[in-house]
Structure 1
Amino acid sequence: MTELLLGSITFLTSIIAAVVGIGGGMMLIAILPSFLPLNALIPVHGLTQVSSNLSRAFFGYKDIQYEVIPKFLIGSILGIAFFAGVLSFISLEYVPLFIGVYILLSLWSQKFNQKIKRYENYYLAGFFQTGLSMVVGATGPLTMTLLFKDYNDKDKVVATGAALMTITHFLKVVVFIYFGFVFFDYIWIILAMIFGAVLGSFVGTKARNLIDGKKFTIILKILLTLLAIKLIVDIFIKMI
């Protein structure tokens, strides 16, 4: 019963991610604590997201902007190595707050964009998105915000974002395997979620074609803004 329910939930969140490019993974990780122990939360979510993003990239492979992948991959490898090494020595409690503020300023402040443009690149995006993904469930918006500014075409944004997030989640899964997490203990749940993720990617990719470019831009900007506000609010709630 749990497998069927989680497979269905993953299917729905994967549709959302395939249509808009983001949001599905965050929704899923918010739901999973009700079904999984905390030590399994990020590893199982990461493996599911590999299948979700990889299938989304596969269905939209013609729209992937491959020139950004080597830069992102280099940054990701450095990021995962750095954060895996210092994870036990530093506090990352307030990282979501900074991510949220960055996204809001990047989306809505022209002055901020003019100042930050010289520092924004896919090396840094890979470093922080992949490195922080081991502890923060909301790093996807970092790259999507950058892609949103670099490309006008909705299919290019979603497909390229999916390819980059595949790298992020795959490297994260490798690290958890290295640290000894046994994925086989959750094999039936994982298989049900992978099936739901791939099917959701297929349905969502087809549904995305029904949305025109202007509407997509508005939806993505609103969703990124809501996700950023949630990150900030969650931190302040913890402080109270």
Structure 2
Amino acid sequence: MNELLLGLLTFFTSTIAGVVGIGGGMMLIAILPAFLPLNALIPVHGLTQMSSNFSRAVFGYKDVQYETIPKFLIGSIAGIALFASILSMISLEYVPLFIGVYILLSLWSQKFNDKIKKYENYYLVGFLQTGLSIVVGATGPLTMTLLLKDYKDKDKVVATGAALMSITHILKVFVFMYFGFVFFDYIGIIVAMIIGAVAGSYAGTKLRDKIDGKKFLMLLKVLLTILAIKVIIGVFL
């Protein structure tokens, strides 16, 4: 019964991510504690999100901006290697706060964007997003914030974001396997969620065509803003 319910919930969250490019993963990680023990939460979520993002990138392969991938991949490998090796030594309590503030300033402050432009690139975003993803749930908006500045076409933003997030989740899954997490213990739930994730990606890709480009970009900015505020509030609660 849990498998069926989680499959349907994953379909719903993956459809939202397929339309807007973000938000589905954060909704899903908020739901999962009701179904999974804490030690399984991030590994199972990571594997499901890998399926959701990879399938979304495949369905939108014509719109993926492939020039971003090598830079992001190099940054991601460096990030995950560093954060996995020092995980037990660092306090990450306030990292979500900095991520949330960065997203808000990036979206709404032209002065901030003018100053940060020379430092902001896919190597750095890959390093931070993938490295921090093994401990912080809200790293996806980092990529989407940068893509939103570089590309104005909604399909390019969503498909490329999905391709880059796939890299983050694939590397994260390998880290959890290295640390000994046994995915097979949750095979029924994982299969149901992967089916829901892929079906949701397909549905979301089809529904995205129905949204006007300008409305889409404003919707994405509003959703990113809500997620950033939620992350900031979460640090203090």
What is the TM-score when the length of structure 1 is the normalising length?
Answer: 0.98
Structure 2 residue 47 is the aligned partner of structure 1 residue 55: no
In the alignment of these two chains, the number of paired residues is 237
Q: In structure 1, how many angstroms separate the alpha carbons of the residues matched to 2:35 and 2:138?
A: 20
User: In structure 1, what is the equivalent of residue 156 of structure 2?
Assistant: 156
Question: Percent sequence identity over matched residues?
Answer: 80
Consecutive unaligned residues of structure 2, counting only runs of 5 or more, are: none
The Cα of 1:67 is off from its aligned counterpart by 0.2
Q: In structure 2, how many angstroms separate the alpha carbons of the residues matched to 1:207 and 1:167?
A: 25
The Cα of 1:16 is off from its aligned counterpart by 0.4
Equivalent residue runs for 1:158-173 within 5 Å: 158-173=158-173
User: In structure 2, what is the equivalent of residue 217 of structure 1?
Assistant: 217
Q: In structure 1, how many angstroms separate the alpha carbons of the residues matched to 2:131 and 2:213?
A: 32
Tell me the amino acid that sits aligned with residue 89 of structure 2: F
Q: In structure 2, how many angstroms separate the alpha carbons of the residues matched to 1:38 and 1:54?
A: 25
Q: In structure 2, how many angstroms separate the alpha carbons of the residues matched to 1:10 and 1:164?
A: 20
Q: In structure 1, how many angstroms separate the alpha carbons of the residues matched to 2:127 and 2:116?
A: 17
User: What do the CA deviations read for 1:30-55 (whole angstroms, capped 9, x no partner)?
Assistant: 11011100000000000000100000
| Secondary structure of the corresponding residue to residue 89 of structure 2 | coil
| Secondary structure of the corresponding residue to residue 88 of structure 1 | helix
Equivalent residue runs for 1:118-197 within 5 Å: 118-197=118-197
Tell me the amino acid that sits aligned with residue 105 of structure 1: L
Q: In structure 2, how many angstroms separate the alpha carbons of the residues matched to 1:81 and 1:160?
A: 23
Q: Which runs of 4+ in 1 moved over 4 A?
A: none
User: In structure 1, what is the equivalent of residue 74 of structure 2?
Assistant: 74
Consecutive unaligned residues of structure 1, counting only runs of 5 or more, are: none
User: In structure 2, what is the equivalent of residue 4 of structure 1?
Assistant: 4
The Cα of 1:15 is off from its aligned counterpart by 0.3
Tell me the amino acid that sits aligned with residue 37 of structure 1: P
Structure 2 residue 33 is the aligned partner of structure 1 residue 33: yes
What is the TM-score when the length of structure 2 is the normalising length?
Answer: 1.00
Q: In structure 2, how many angstroms separate the alpha carbons of the residues matched to 1:85 and 1:93?
A: 18
The alignment's C-alpha RMSD in Å is 0.4
The Cα of 1:226 is off from its aligned counterpart by 0.2
Tell me the amino acid that sits aligned with residue 7 of structure 2: G
| Secondary structure of the corresponding residue to residue 67 of structure 2 | helix
The Cα of 1:236 is off from its aligned counterpart by 1.3
Q: In structure 2, how many angstroms separate the alpha carbons of the residues matched to 1:31 and 1:93?
A: 22
